[in-house]
Amino acid sequence: MTKKAPRRTAQRILESTLELFNRFGEPNVSTTRIAAELGISPGNLYYHYPAKDALINRLQQDCEAELQQALGRADVAGDLEGAAELVRALMALVWRYRFMYRDLNDLLSKSRHFEARLQTMLRTQEAALRVLLRRLAASGQLVLGEEEAGMLARNMVVLLSFWLNYEYASDPREALEPAHAPLTLARGAAHILQLLAPYVPAERGDWQQQPGAAVALDAAALSH
């Protein structure tokens, strides 16, 4: 029992840190504030995470692990509806760790570790999406060549990575508030899926209106 308590405290610290980073922005949240939010001493926090960088690195590590899990959908998606499900899952993940995307420049300027891991995450997403697009092309779900698949995969990653920045710039006071999550992310998913439209065969032109490809997001996935 004595070994489980530190893990519970460490997890509480992470959850509170993620919530505060998402709400106020990583540059505006100190370790002292995190400790006060939890009702623990700064020393207790430092026992688990010796510096703020350690918290950021752990959250990024968790995000990367969840990204790998989400990208598992790319391995089984065999049609456009499966591709839409993958996009929704990736958008929900971006929302869950939205501080990383909103505060991206600040985080990159402070940490080479963050930079290296982020580059790995971007390459992983792009590679998975490229494989998915090739599979859809091979099955006749899309009509595109190898070079087009590569460019399309990269464009999808760009929109995934920077959609929240666009929403934030458009409405800094409201766009990233939890109440706006469904609309904000549904718009992002719709724009990403629209990238596929020019490559969809004419007989599948209405696929985005089908139930399986709807861009509405599961509220449970956006509740963080």
Over residues 131-152, the pLDDT tens digits come to 999 999 999 999 999 999 999 9
In the chain, the percentage of residues whose pLDDT exceeds 70 is 87
Please tell me the predicted confidence (pLDDT) of residue 206.
59
Q: Average pLDDT in the 25-38 region? A: 96
Distance of CA 100 to the CA centre of its chain: 9
DSSP-based helix, strand, coil % in the chain, nearest 5: 80, 0, 20
Please tell me the predicted confidence (pLDDT) of residue 76.
75
Q: Average pLDDT in the 9-24 region? A: 95
- Of residues 177 and 75, which shows the higher confidence score? 177
From 33, 50, 67, give the residue that closes a domain: 50
Q: Kindly state whether residues 106 and 35 are assigned to the same domain.
A: no
Q: Kindly state whether residues 117 and 6 are assigned to the same domain.
A: no
Q: Kindly state whether residues 70 and 1 are assigned to the same domain.
A: no
CA distance 102 to 162: 8
Has residue 26 got a pLDDT over 70?
A: yes
Q: Kindly state whether residues 124 and 160 are assigned to the same domain.
A: yes
Please tell me the predicted confidence (pLDDT) of residue 222.
43
Has residue 100 got a pLDDT over 50?
A: yes
CA distance 92 to 82: 15
Please tell me the predicted confidence (pLDDT) of residue 173.
83
Q: Kindly state whether residues 36 and 66 are assigned to the same domain.
A: no
Task: Read off the pLDDT of residues 175-193 as tens digits, 9 standing for 90 and up.
Answer: 888 888 888 999 999 999 9
Q: Average pLDDT in the 148-166 region? A: 95
Mean pLDDT of the chain: 87
Q: Kindly state whether residues 70 and 180 are assigned to the same domain.
A: yes
Q: Which domain holds residue 109?
A: 56-222
**Strands annotated E in the chain:** none
Q: Kindly state whether residues 5 and 67 are assigned to the same domain.
A: no
Q: Kindly state whether residues 34 and 71 are assigned to the same domain.
A: no
Q: Average pLDDT in the 96-119 region? A: 94
Q: Kindly state whether residues 25 and 128 are assigned to the same domain.
A: no
Task: Give the chain's domain count.
Answer: 2
Number of H helices, E strands in the chain: 10, 0
CATH of the domain at 20: 1.10.10.60
Q: Kindly state whether residues 65 and 9 are assigned to the same domain.
A: no
Q: Average pLDDT in the 194-210 region? A: 74
Q: Kindly state whether residues 90 and 198 are assigned to the same domain.
A: yes
CATH of the domain at 93: 1.10.357.10
CA distance 154 to 178: 28
Q: Kindly state whether residues 16 and 76 are assigned to the same domain.
A: no
